Amino acid sequence: MMGIRGQLTLLVPGVVAIALTVVAFAAVRQSNREALEEFKELNLTALDSLSVTVATSVAENDMAGLDTVVAHTAERLEPHGLLELAVIDDDGRVMAHSQPERFNRVLTDGFTQQAIASEGPLWAREGNVLRIATPANSGIRWATVTARFSLGQMEQTYAAVRRRAALGTLGLFLFIAGALFLGMNRVVIRPVRVLEASVKRMGEGHLSTRVPALPGREMAELSDIVNGMASALQTERENLERTVAERTRELSEANARLERMAVTDGLTGLFNHRRFHEALHSELLRCERHKRPLAVLMVDVDFFKRVNDSMGHPAGDELLRRLAEVLSADLRQTDLIARYGGEEFSVLLPETTKAEALQVAERMRESVETKINEGGRWTQRITVSVGVATFPEDGAAAEEVLEAADRALYVAKRQGRNRVMGAKAA
């Protein structure tokens, strides 16, 4: 499809060229009519002059003189396009002719008959031939002078003028088209292309793109409007992105809190029973695959119910929080401690043998006995009992290892509490 530049390049010069062509050809046609009228008047004057001499020669019956006058006149008018010159009587008979062989012939054509009947000059155009006739009077009408003139030279001149007008119009068309094409390219097309490229980039999401300064008041206003729209869209998108980022962050934080709440004990901040079992099963699979040991500790507070009964449940809660801090202090980052339930804690020790686990459990027991009882805060001495079991020595499944540690804990309780007891292999 042709663009606006091509359409205007054809339309505007075309309209101008057509208008100029119409005007030029009208002027040429008018000039041709005027030239024809001048040509007719000039030759009619010549024939009027000849008719006086012809009337005298016919009146005196001087046929030889008539032939001479006709011949001399024909020779003089030949450069003006004369084709033939004749003197005829009232019957149309040729009395003298520029072509002697046509002497004495009778002319019967319509123009000749009209000329004989006319009392004044007569002319008619027949294609590229102009016929003129005038009466030869000298008191009375003695004869009629008729002539035929060629209009070929005049038509050639007319055709040449028309060609020059057409070429001039074509040249003017090309000049206007070229000037309009270049002007449109500079004033409209280039700015539009720049605007189009900028808007395309904006449409691709590059809202920081701005239309550069464009020439012309209208283009400058349009670029300002587009830039303002892009700026507003960019601001709106940035606001939206910030809002989405804030909402996403809040949602992530909320999900993280929910996830922590799902696996964390609300009182002590340790992992809960559910998370401990998930970690136990996962670590057992890994240890089984890599043939590595795993230790499980079950820790229970001795005579915890007495604390609640004597000091109240808030004091019992405070004791559990303090125990969580002390028990966690002796663990590695790879270890996991959880509140198993009530006053009972469970510990997971990956890559740990039973001998190593017993040492860890003993340190934990000593820390509790030493640190928790500092300051005499409690109405009784706080101690813990610990049961220790390992995989695969005390069980091949999570439940088996956990039950073995739990049995060892109860053995420690029965043997007097405040001690560490390892599970006995079945």
CA distances from 106 to 95, 112, 137, 149 (A): 10, 10, 21, 20
Can you say how many angstroms the Cα of residue 99 is from the centroid of all Cα atoms in its chain?
A: 83
Q: Nearest 5°: CA angle at 53, between 48 and 55?
A: 90
Q: List Cβ<8 Å contacts ≥24 apart for 55-64.
A: 55/136, 55/137, 55/138, 55/142, 55/143, 56/138, 58/87, 58/95, 58/136, 58/142, 58/143, 59/138, 59/142, 63/95, 63/96
* Catalytic-residue membership of 343: yes
Of 38, 204, 241, 343, the catalytic one is 343
Helical spans, DSSP H, in 264-272: none
Distance CA 18, CA 23 (A): 9
Are the CB atoms for 400 and 337 separated by under 8 Å? no
Q: Where are the beta strands (DSSP E) in 59-112?
A: 82-88, 94-97
Query: Please, what's the b/e burial string for 190-202 (b: 16 or more CB within 10 A of its CB; e: otherwise)?
Result: ebbebbeebeebb
Judge if the upstream peptide bond of residue 350 is cis by omega within 30 degrees of 0.
Answer: no
**Residues whose CB is less than 8 angstroms from the CB of residue 419 and which lie 6 or more positions away in sequence, other chains included:** 365, 385, 386, 412
**C-alpha torsion angle, residues 202, 204, 206, 209 (rounded to 10):** -30
Give bridge partners of residue 88 from the DSSP assignment.
94, 144
- Residue positions annotated with a catalytic role: 343
